[in-house]
């Protein structure tokens, strides 16, 4: 199995900048992908942020399995994590974030008021891994196209302060991964959803991971998408069956593995399978028990 990793130099620089700017903000808004809520959370943030008030926003919730969304919200509630599920493509996205930010930072502003300090806007830092939907969320909050958006990771390369009406000032930061994925399943989930540069991936291995998971959890989706009457037992046989259905054949009838893998990943990222999630709270419980 290929080891998946991506930690370019600008991410180390961004980590240092985040640490330096923390004292200037009241709140950290951490974004995670609703399809992979734990895999898309940078474990270094707990050390970096320490006791700084934090709001976890699950982006792309409209792409995730609705049942899974509910389970994750319950999971984080039980952990005492202030959490919102957000559909970043809907215009109403900014209001819940501002309301939750006001609720979380209320003690800070009460303290300032008692000291006679004049009220000001909430200063928040927005953090997340690459391609988690950060720029889209920022554009909703700010109300205009300020941040660049795209489906490729690593678009934001520098920090910038942005105004969110009169209620909030937002510090945008580049997406930051971490130096080593202890669990390679995390790497495969991140690769599947586009958080890692495609140029660094073995597409075939990532596609095999995706089809294996779909076969286990969403078999009818897989059958319907690729017009399969039955799903072969072995991952490789399933992959080849999809390749034949999609005409991914070379001269002599050989499978064009790269073309087939690209189709599968494009279908996943383009929501051709409908609303699916790649991990559940139960997955992590099982991993911790092993």
Residue 1 lies in a domain: no
* 39 and 142 both lie in a single domain: yes
* H/E run at residue 131: none
* 138 and 208 both lie in a single domain: no
Query: Tell me, what CATH number does 79's domain have?
Result: 3.40.50.300
* 17 and 155 both lie in a single domain: yes
* Per-residue pLDDT, 226: 97
* 42 and 127 both lie in a single domain: yes
Contacts of 63 (CB under 8 A, 6+ apart): 34, 35, 271, 275, 276
Residue 215 lies in a domain: yes
Contact assessment for residue 57 and residue 138, using Cβ atoms and an 8 Å cutoff: no
Residue 152 to residue 217: CA distance in whole angstroms: 27
Backbone angles phi, psi at 39, to 5 degrees: -65, -30
Closest alpha carbon to 39 in 288, 280, 289 = 280
pLDDT along the chain (290 residues), means of 10: 55 74 93 96 87 94 95 96 81 78 95 92 91 86 62 50 90 75 85 85 92 96 96 94 95 92 96 96 74
Which residues does residue 128 pair with via DSSP β-bridges, in sequence order? Answer: 31
Which of 124, 154, 172 is where one domain is finished? 172
Sign of CA dihedral 274, 280, 282, 286: positive
Structural domain of residue 56, as residue ranges?
A: 9-172
Residue 100 lies in a domain: yes
* 101 and 213 both lie in a single domain: no
Closest alpha carbon to 149 in 171, 130, 125, 168 = 130
* 15 and 156 both lie in a single domain: yes
Number of structural domains (the chain) is 2
């Amino acid at each position: 199995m290929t080891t998946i990793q991506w930690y370019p130099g600008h991410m180390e620089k961004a980590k240092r900048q985040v640490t330096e700017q923390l004292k200037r903000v009241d709140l950290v808004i951490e974004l995670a992908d609703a399809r992979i809520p734990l895999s898309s959370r940078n474990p270094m943030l707990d050390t970096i942020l320490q006791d700084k008030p934090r709001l976890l926003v699950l982006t792309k919730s409209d792409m995730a399995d609705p049942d899974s969304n509910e389970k994750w919200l319950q999971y984080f509630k039980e952990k005492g994590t202030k959490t919102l599920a957000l559909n970043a493509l809907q215009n109403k996205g900014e209001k819940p974030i501002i309301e939750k930010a006001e609720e979380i930072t209320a003690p800070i502003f009460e303290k300032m008021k008692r000291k006679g300090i004049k009220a000001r806007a909430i200063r928040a830092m927005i953090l997340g891994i690459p391609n988690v939907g950060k720029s889209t969320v920022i554009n909703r909050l700010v109300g205009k196209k300020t941040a660049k958006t795209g489906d490729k990771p690593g678009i934001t390369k520098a920090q910038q302060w942005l105004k969110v009406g009169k209620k909030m000032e937002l510090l945008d930061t580049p997406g930051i991964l971490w130096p080593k994925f202890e669990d390679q399943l995390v790497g495969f989930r991140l690769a599947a959803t586009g958080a890692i540069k495609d140029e660094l991936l073995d597409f075939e291995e990532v596609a095999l991971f995706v089809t294996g998971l779909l076969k286990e959890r969403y078999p009818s989706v897989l059958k319907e998408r690729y017009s399969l009457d039955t799903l072969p037992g072995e991952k490789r046989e399933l992959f080849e069956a999809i390749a034949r259905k999609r005409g991914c054949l070379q001269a002599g009838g050989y499978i064009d593995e790269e073309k087939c893998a690209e189709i599968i990943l494009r279908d996943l990222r383009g929501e051709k399978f409908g609303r699916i999630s790649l991990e559940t709270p139960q997955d992590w419980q099982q991993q911790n028990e092993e």
